[in-house]
Chains A and B, each alone.
Chain A
């Protein structure tokens, strides 16, 4: 293979004196050095002047979005599982998409990124990038950039890249590129070059390599030990998500129509588990059931609530405006469900006796659920009590669905609740 197997002979579409010429030609030479087939190679280009070189390469080419070529290349490299993926981007694209470069280095995606660092955004008029060195003058910053530029190589090396190097984009640097391309995992080459239209014009007489050195950017190679590369390795043992416990009908329910329950407690109070147990119990009586949870975004604190619909008919609409029963076992739960409880003109309210009773048209039962069952079983005990008051399904069905292996004899607690009348137990 020769470089003309990878890059069409003839002129390239760059400005006279642009460093991109040399990057393209040295890339072709490097690929020829590695004896790759052109169709083994996928060249992914970013947005920027370098990106218009696609049509001259005889490899596969993919021309993507500004700053995203490394992430796109990572997907291609991981998906292919073979061949060589090379990503071209500028310092502007590297600035926009530095997260993608860090991720490529961290995961060790098998691709090589060549950053054309001409220290500015050339295609859009010479604006500074995050890699523009301090003091470098651009079209929009004629006094020079005030802040230091990113040391991309140090950042990407720190992120775990196998091989990172900064080189001067002068002469034949195909050997350095070939070394980087030969790395099994992730490699990045920062080629320091110049933009004749904006860089040289505003920084006359300064050579790119000197500008980089003056800014404290070292030339050299930084390496990390080789690691497994990130490729897709499809699993053959994916198990169906539908291998679920089949719920059999072991009890019966007198319910005809629909019965809705709002149960409200605190995070950590196993409210969701208790509600799900009630839904399972309903199914075990031949009813249909739906259960939806409600909780704040901080799932470990505040309220935890669930709306349930138990129905002898198929459940379509799952909204509950006014529940037939509300179960409230904590202050958090009351804060959440208080307004619903106040709007209830009928139905049942089962509420912990330690809570202030809101005005409601529902029939009320106050019992010491938290005192008897503790924080973690209060919701379940309260639901059991609800079923004792309104036997839409047998309490035994709920106990079975809850699979209470908690060391707490909920049935015994339920018996004790029957002895309590709206006052705290001693």
Chain B
């Protein structure tokens, strides 16, 4: 048994999964991720600002490395244009987003899960930015390789979403229970010549050749471009290429869909929670069941794009209780829109954690 924080597991997991380089800029509550990465990753650089950090990430990715960074909303906001560039250039990288209470600077040392709606619209045009959530201490170990594999296979930036509570709290933890982590596969070159950097195969993802290679010319482009990486304004091949950025994620989403579904026979209510509220939801469901209340539990890791599995699961339930540590009900809005649906209930908290008792009360309120 050891005493450790989630940041330690996240960085060690990313390192074992094959992250090559960390680029950091100090920001609370991502500072533990920064300091651990400086010690653990094969290479690590301290950037002078967030935009530089994001551009370096993209530059490293263009050379075939798998780069990572860690930030919180204020830094993430400054990285956003560069992450759009990574999306457009199809560069694999992972940003660990340590959520804290906003808006703006907000309260740097207060927890929150308030960035999901931002992430849903982070890429101009509404294109998806894949988001993998950490819902438990075990997830700090298990989800980083998924995020890195998704980035590498689909050539995309990925957000690994967590929060201050998970990344900075120390827990007693049994290390011997951790499964082994293997390096994630890298996207390679099929050998087709001439090389077209954005000519996609059956999985809608292009092969990858790094810039600077001696085999074939590579053109990367953040502007609207065709399969050859040439700016084409509104030419149909270029627009088809842009549309492919969304289609490739949807086409491969099933491979990267992870969630915990604990269904109880006869239950007409399901509790849904993510990030730090997932633990409260587990306690609430255990408590409810201990007194005979039938209830199911869904803890989604793959948050964006939204897997259709979730919609199918939730459609089976008369009541859906969605608990999350934000004021607006981000996941609730993403799943059900502002119109909502009969039987959908939000349990939310601003500036504090949602408690198991609040979730249980929301489930009971229908009785």
Contacts and interface: CB of A to CB of B under 8 A. Distances in A.
Interface stretch (B183-191, B330-338, B349-357): B349-357
B2 A62 contact: no
A279 B283 contact: no
Nearest to A73: B59
Contact of A290 (B85, B171, B219, B229): B171
B273 to A, nearest CB: 11
Given A234-B43, A235-B42, A316 B282 contact: yes
A247 B63 CA distance: 43
A38 B217 contact: yes
B59 A75 contact: yes
A246 B3 CA distance: 8
Contacts of B230: 54-55
A54 B221 contact: yes
Interface stretch (A64-72, A360-368, A372-380): A64-72
Contacts of A176: none
Given A58-B217, A68-B51, A317-B355, A247 B2 contact: yes
B56 interface: yes
Nearest to B60: A79
A283 interface: yes
B280 to A, nearest CB: 4
A79 B65 contact: yes
Contact of B56 (A38, A63, A71, A319): A71
A42 B42 CA distance: 24
Contact of B279 (A73, A240, A317): A317
Nearest to A45: B221
A52 B231 contact: yes
Interface in A259-309: 276, 279-280, 282-283, 287-297
Given A71-B59, A318-B165, A244 B171 contact: no
Contacts of A78: 45, 56, 59-60
B70 interface: no
Nearest to B223: A63
Given A39-B214, A80-B212, A316-B283, A297 B41 contact: no
Interface in B294-330: none
Contacts of B41: 238
B279 A316 contact: yes
Contacts of B57: 75
A241 B37 CA distance: 9
- Which 3 A-B pairs give the minimum distances between C-beta atoms? A75-B59, A71-B55, A79-B63
Contact of B39 (A239, A292, A321): A239
A244 B4 contact: yes
A233 interface: yes
Contacts of A280: 3
Contacts of A247: 1-3, 172
Interface string B73-114: 000000001100100010000000000000000001100000
Interface stretch (B7-15, B146-154, B235-243, B247-255): B7-15
A79 B59 contact: yes
B221 A76 contact: no
Contacts of A135: none
Nearest to B280: A317
A405 B215 CA distance: 62
B48 A62 contact: no
Interface of B: 1-4, 8, 11-12, 15, 20-21, 28, 36, 39-43, 45, 48-49, 51-52, 55-60, 62-65, 81-82, 85, 89, 108-109, 136, 165, 168-172, 175, 211-223, 229-231, 276, 279-280, 282-283, 352-353, 355-356
A81 to B, nearest CB: 8
A99 B52 contact: yes
Given A63-B223, A75-B57, A234 B20 contact: yes
Contacts of A245: 2
B38 to A, nearest CB: 10
A317 B62 contact: no
Q: Which of B2, B60, B165, B171 has the most CB of A within 10 A?
A: B171
Interface in A93-125: 99-100, 103
A235 to B, nearest CB: 6
Interface string A224-253: 000000001111101111101111110000
A279 B170 contact: yes
Q: Majority SS of interface residues in chain B?
A: mixed
Contact of A68 (B43, B55, B213): B55
Contact of B109 (A37, A291, A294): A294
Nearest to B349: A319
A61 B39 contact: no
Contacts of A76: 59-60, 62-63, 211-212
B3 A279 contact: yes
A279 B211 CA distance: 50
28 contacts: A40-B212, A40-B214, A42-B211, A54-B219, A54-B231, A58-B217, A59-B217, A60-B213, A61-B221, A63-B221, A63-B223, A64-B222, A75-B55, A75-B62, A99-B52, A100-B51, A238-B40, A239-B39, A241-B12, A242-B4, A288-B171, A290-B170, A292-B170, A316-B136, A317-B280, A317-B355, A318-B171, A319-B353
A74 interface: yes
A258 B68 CA distance: 38
A83 interface: yes
Contacts of B63: 75-76, 79-80
Contact of A61 (B165, B213, B215, B219): B219
A59 B8 CA distance: 42
Nearest to A62: B220
A70 to B, nearest CB: 8
A101 B116 CA distance: 34
A54 B64 CA distance: 21
A232 B21 contact: yes
A394 B229 CA distance: 68
A276 B2 CA distance: 12
Nearest to A84: B212
Contacts of A82: 212
A80 B64 CA distance: 9
Nearest to A42: B211
Nearest to B52: A71
Contacts of A235: 42-43
Given A71-B59, A75-B59, A103 B3 contact: no
Contact of A64 (B49, B85, B217): B85
A100 B219 contact: no
